[in-house]
């Protein structure tokens, strides 16, 4: 018998089931074979199809029956509210930037680059090679692979000026992504209930990590050139804080890059108050028009805790990052890492090290720089053409995003819904402010898929803005 025979039996039984009460027994296999002139194998296949469709259920030794329709009982989770208590921090909602876009949707919201911006061949080959080594079966030290720690240390040491003792492998700890590193640093260095100075606006993930750690955020305004050192000093003086979280290089979301002088001035303030600068260098490998200038390269007395990730430049699947810290601060972060994740997968570490030590890695970064520049300029020009009432204060010299100021009075949530209805996902800027937003902003990524649709996206955002007024 053919598959068509099985299909005809399924069709006939579906009509029969439609008129039968739940729990009714289907005709026996012998009866079905006789009725349809089919073999027992064909009948059994038809019955399996009905079971897979959820229309029937078999009871071994008894027969096959129309599936009982059970009305689900509404779950009552009210008890959990009393057990959990009020949520700490900024709530439990996942950031809009983490949403997966549907088919044919233009995604300008994500913080991750499209796969065509990643060294895919290098990553696949590195994972294959790493799987053949002992890294696939051995536990790594909690500090991380020595060779990978040395690579991160050497990268930072390359920017150290004469007279500054560069970091070494011992100062480096490998992390399962920078987000977990922020959580560890805030817990181990700042501490629950203690104040933390933080740029405003800044990375939403840092705001969330600080809130989960019970840290009290103290916003410091930060513009296209970074924060004013006098504002930083004033905040230290008024709050007694002992740490300042900042992104001196291609800040998320603004794209700001501190000048070399601004970095030295802020570092002088940090030293004067006996504090730490927590430097998040997330976009180190995403330069476009300038070169990254880590403030940590100018520090050798442990005032800067430096964080660098490979997640955005190598692959989101290789969540590998590093923190460079000296003295007791390093030991406290290490203790926190040992209590939380214990160690980072040796397989991921070996693969990441393989990628960044290949000669093709530098060639890849040069190609990505060209692609990012083209994408950035296309999106910026499209916004100027279709959305002249919005203001783009700065075309970033690196990173992945544009920070767009929208007209005063714009309802950002309504705008996001209007954009989504038209097939465009944008990220309202509210998430990037540790306190009240200074205005209606949206962060738009130029690193997502389909850059040829940027002009269409800008036009749809303009339509959505007009509809939201």
- Length in residues, the chain: 469
The model's pTM: 0.82
How high is the pLDDT of residue 93? 59
Please give the distance of CA 270 from its chain centroid, rounded to a whole number.
29
> What is the Cα–Cα distance from 94 to 73, expressed in whole angstroms?
28
How high is the pLDDT of residue 1? 42
Please give the distance of CA 376 from its chain centroid, rounded to a whole number.
20
How high is the pLDDT of residue 400? 97
The parts of the chain modelled with pLDDT lower than 70 are: 1-3, 69-73, 86-102
Using only C-alpha atoms, what is the Rg of the chain? 28
How high is the pLDDT of residue 69? 67
N-to-C CA span, the chain: 65
Please report which helix (H) or strand (E) contains residue 277, including its range: strand 276-280
Q: Which residues contact 292 (CB under 8 A, 6 or more apart)?
A: 159, 249, 250, 281, 283, 284, 398
Coil vs helix vs strand at 133: coil
Coil vs helix vs strand at 429: helix
Answer for the pair 366, 217: CB distance below 8 angstroms, yes or no. no
Which DSSP state fits 398?
B
Closest CA to 257 of 306, 293, 304, 206: 293
């Amino acid at each position: 018998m053919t598959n068509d025979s099985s299909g005809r039996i399924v069709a006939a039984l579906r009509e029969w089931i439609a008129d039968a009460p739940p729990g009714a027994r289907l005709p026996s296999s012998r009866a079905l074979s006789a009725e349809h002139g089919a073999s027992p194998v064909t009948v059994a296949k038809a019955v399996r199809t009905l079971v897979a469709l959820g229309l029937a259920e078999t009871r071994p030794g008894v027969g096959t029956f129309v599936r009982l329709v059970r009305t689900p009982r509404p779950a009552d989770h009210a008890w959990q509210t009393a057990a959990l208590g009020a949520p700490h921090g900024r709530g439990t909602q996942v950031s809009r930037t983490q949403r997966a876009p549907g088919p044919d949707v233009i995604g300008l919201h994500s913080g991750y680059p499209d796969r065509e911006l990643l060294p895919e061949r290098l990553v696949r080959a590195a994972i294959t090679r790493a799987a053949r080594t002992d890294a696939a079966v051995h536990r790594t030290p909690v500090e991380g692979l020595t060779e990978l720690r040395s690579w991160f240390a050497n990268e930072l040491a390359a920017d150290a000026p004469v007279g500054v003792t560069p970091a070494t492998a011992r100062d480096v700890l490998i992390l399962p992504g920078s987000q977990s590193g922020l959580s560890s640093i805030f817990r181990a260095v700042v501490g629950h209930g203690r104040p933390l100075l933080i740029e405003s606006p800044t990375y939403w993930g840092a705001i969330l990590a600080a809130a989960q750690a019970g840290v009290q955020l103290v916003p410091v305004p930060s513009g296209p050139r970074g924060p004013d050192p006098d504002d930083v000093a004033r905040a230290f003086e008024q709050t007694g804080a002992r740490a300042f979280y900042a992104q001196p290089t291609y800040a998320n979301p603004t794209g700001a890059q501190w000048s070399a002088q601004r970095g030295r001035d802020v570092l002088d303030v940090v030293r004067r108050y006996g504090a730490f600068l927590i430097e998040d260098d997330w976009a180190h490998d995403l330069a476009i028009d300038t070169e990254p200038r880590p403030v940590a390269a100018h520090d050798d007395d442990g005032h800067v805790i430096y964080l660098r990730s490979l997640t955005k430049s190598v692959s989101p699947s290789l969540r590998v990052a590093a923190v460079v810290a000296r003295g007791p601060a390093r030991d406290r972060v290490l203790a926190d890492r040992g209590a939380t994740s214990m160690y980072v997968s040796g397989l991921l570490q070996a693969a990441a090290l393989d990628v960044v030590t290949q000669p093709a890695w530098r060639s890849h970064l040069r190609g990505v720089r060209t692609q990012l520049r083209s994408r950035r300029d296309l999106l910026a020009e499209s916004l100027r053409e279709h959305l002249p009432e919005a203001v783009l204060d700065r075309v970033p010299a690196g990173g992945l995003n544009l920070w767009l100021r929208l007209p005063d009075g714009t309802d950002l949530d309504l705008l996001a819904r209007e954009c989504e209805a038209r097939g465009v996902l944008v990220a309202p800027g509210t998430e990037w402010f540790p306190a009240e937003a200074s205005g209606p902003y949206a962060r738009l990524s130029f690193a997502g898929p389909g850059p040829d649709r940027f002009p269409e996206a800008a036009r749809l955002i303009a339509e959505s803005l007009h509809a939201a007024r």
